[in-house]
Amino acid sequence: MDTLHLLGFDFGASSGRAMLGTYDGETLKLEELHRFSNDPVMLNGRFVWDVQRLFFEMKAALLKAVKAGIKLDGIGIDTWGVDYGLLDKNGQLLGIPVNYRDARTDGMMEEAFKTVPKEDIFEATGLAFMQFNTLYQLLAMKKQNDPTLDLADTMLFMPDLLAYFLTGEKATEYTIASTSQLIDPHTRDWAWGLIEKFGLPTKMLTKIQPAGTVRGLLLKEIADEVGMAQVPVIAVGSHDTASAVAAVPAREGSSFAYISSGTWSLLGAEIMEPLSSVEVMKANYTNEGGINGTTRLLKNIMGLWMIQECKREWDRRADAVDFAGLVELAEKAPAFKAVIDVDDTRFLAPGDMPARIQQYCRETNQPVPEGRGEISRVIYESLALKYRWAIERLEQDLLHRKIDVLHIVGGGSKNLMLNRMTACAINRPVVAGPSEGTVIGNLLVQAVALGRIGSIAEMRQVVAASFENVEYLPEGDAAAWDAAYERLLALINK
C-alpha cells in the first residue's frame, strides 16, 4: 500500500502552521513544515484578519514541501469558527475579514431578540448564544449599512475562503458553517426561514458539503508558481474543534467527554442527534457539526486566552516569562486564594487581563491575587472548576448519563498542572493527548476522503496507535476542591 503524504494547514487565533502527515496505512507521523504568526490588527476602527498575508504563508509552505522533495496527495485547511469573507460577483474579496473579537457585535444579540425571540433562534439552530456568532456579525453589518453586504455575491467562512484562493471553487463545509447560528442542525442545511426573518441576503450562501469532500484541485497558476502538481484540496473538519474531536483516542462505545484545549476550551460530548431542548439552551450548550454525521454538544469556555492575555501584559511591563515559567510560579502560589467565573464577559476582549481579574475579585469580596504566580494559579484553578460545572451539566441536565473519562486534546493538553487540577476538580480520570489533535484530525479526514480510512472509529484507532497519551487520576484534597466549587457555583448563580 502506497504511503500518503498529506499537508494540513491549521490556523489558530494567534498562529498558523503547515504540518506534513505521512500515513502508511497503520500509523500517522507528523512533521512541521512551516509555522507563522497570525496577527489580527486594528485598522480604521476595525479589528481584522490579515488574510492576504495568511495566504502568502500558505504558498510559502507549499514551496517548502517542493524544496523538500515531497509529493503531496492532499491538502486540508482548518481554522477557528464564525468569521468569514465576502466576495463580489467577479470573485474578488470585498473588504477585509473582521475578527470575531471586534466590538461591532456589542449589543447585537439583544437587537436580534427584538426581531426573533431567543427561544425561536435556538429552536431553529441549536447553537449557543455568543455575541460574535456569524448571525450577529451579519446583523451588525446590516444595522451599520455596510455597503459590502449589499455587494456580496458569496459568503465563505475562513477555511472555505482560503480553499477558494487555492482552488477557485466556492462551497461551504458543514462543520465550520455549524458555528454560525445560521444552520439547521437537523437538516444540516441553512436555516432558511430564520435567515429570511432577519432580512439577510440568501443569494450569497453556497452549497453545504460534508467533511471529507474533495473541494477541487490546486489552481494551475499556483501549482506552476510553486512547482508542484495540481493536488486535491479537501474540505476536512474545517472547524478546528471538529478536527480535534475526530482525533480523540477514545475507545468505541466508551462514555467520554472531551476538551479541545487552546485559546478556547471546547468541552462536550459526541452525540448522533442534536439536542435543542430548553435545558440545553439554558446551559448555553451548543450543537455543532462533527465528522461522519455526528453532533458536537459542547460548551465554549474561555480557555487559555486569559493566561495568554496576562502574559502579553506582563511581558509589556517587565521581563518576559514563558508559559512554563508561569506554571512554576503558579505551583508555588497559595491554593484557592480566589475563584473567578472565567466566562464573565469582561474577560472576552483584549486588554489588561491581570487588572480585570483583580477587579473581579474586589467586586466579589474575595482576596485579591497579586503577582504573576497568584493570578496564574487563580486562572488555572478556575478553569478546572468550570470544567467540572460543564461536565455536571452534561451528566445531570442534558445527556442523563455518567461521563466516565475526560479526554483533553490540543495544545493545552501539555499543561501538566492544569491536567492534574482538572482530574482533581472533576474527580475522574483525565487522559491528555495528543497535543496536535486538531491537525491530526485534519490529516486523517483527508485519508478518509482519499479512500484509505473508512470511519471515525478507524481514525481513532490510528490515533491511539500513533501517539502517546497520559492518564491523570484524582489526588490531593478533595474537600478543598469541593469547597472551591461551591464558591464558583455561588458566583455563577448570583
Domains in the chain, number: 2
Rounded average pLDDT over 36-61: 96
Please report whether residue 438 resides in a domain. no
Please report whether residue 388 resides in a domain. yes
Please report whether residue 284 resides in a domain. yes
**pLDDT digit string (tens) for 345-355?**
999 888 999 99
Q: What is the pLDDT of residue 253?
A: 78
Rounded to a whole number of angstroms, the distance between the first and last alpha carbons of the chain is: 60
Of 209, 240, 271, the residue that ends a domain is 240
Please report whether residue 88 resides in a domain. yes
Q: Are residues 369 and 290 in the same domain?
A: yes
Q: Are residues 312 and 350 in the same domain?
A: yes
CA angle 77, 108, 182 (to 5 degrees): 45
Q: Are residues 236 and 261 in the same domain?
A: no
Q: Are residues 281 and 202 in the same domain?
A: no
Rounded average pLDDT over 199-210: 97
pLDDT of 336 above 70:
yes
CATH for 284? 3.30.420.40
Q: Are residues 254 and 170 in the same domain?
A: no
Please report whether residue 444 resides in a domain. no
Phi-psi region of 424 (alpha: psi -120 to 50; beta: other; left: phi over 0): alpha
Q: Are residues 68 and 128 in the same domain?
A: yes
Q: What is the pLDDT of residue 335?
A: 97
pLDDT of 87 above 70:
yes
Rounded average pLDDT over 120-128: 96
- Distance between CA 336 and CA 333 in Å, rounded? 9
Active centre residues (catalytic): 240
Percentage of residues in the chain with pLDDT exceeding 90?
A: 93
Q: What is the pLDDT of residue 271?
A: 95
Q: What is the pLDDT of residue 1?
A: 64
Give residue 124's pLDDT band: very low, low, confident or very high (50, 70, 90): very high
Q: Are residues 220 and 269 in the same domain?
A: no
Q: Are residues 213 and 100 in the same domain?
A: yes
Please report whether residue 446 resides in a domain. no
Q: Are residues 222 and 271 in the same domain?
A: no
Percentage of residues in the chain with pLDDT exceeding 70?
A: 100
The identity of residue 426, as a single letter, is I
Q: What is the pLDDT of residue 132?
A: 96
Please report whether residue 449 resides in a domain. no
Q: What is the pLDDT of residue 277?
A: 87
Q: What is the tally of helices (H) and strands (E) in the chain?
A: 19, 22
For the chain, the maximum distance between any two Cα atoms, rounded to a whole number of angstroms, is 65
The range of the structural domain enclosing residue 82 comes to 4-240
Nearest to 257 by CA among 408, 129, 131: 408
Q: Name the 3-class secondary structure at 439.
A: helix
Of 223, 240, 257, the residue that ends a domain is 240
Q: Name the 3-class secondary structure at 99.
A: coil
Q: Are residues 194 and 314 in the same domain?
A: no
Average pLDDT, the chain: 96
Rounded average pLDDT over 263-277: 93
Give residue 176's pLDDT band: very low, low, confident or very high (50, 70, 90): very high
Please report whether residue 448 resides in a domain. no
The identity of residue 353, as a single letter, is M
**pLDDT digit string (tens) for 318-328?**
889 999 999 99
Q: Are residues 141 and 260 in the same domain?
A: no
pLDDT of 388 above 90:
yes
Q: Name the 3-class secondary structure at 281.
A: helix
Of 221, 240, 259, the residue that ends a domain is 240
Q: Are residues 234 and 264 in the same domain?
A: no
pLDDT of 494 above 80:
no
Rounded average pLDDT over 156-183: 98
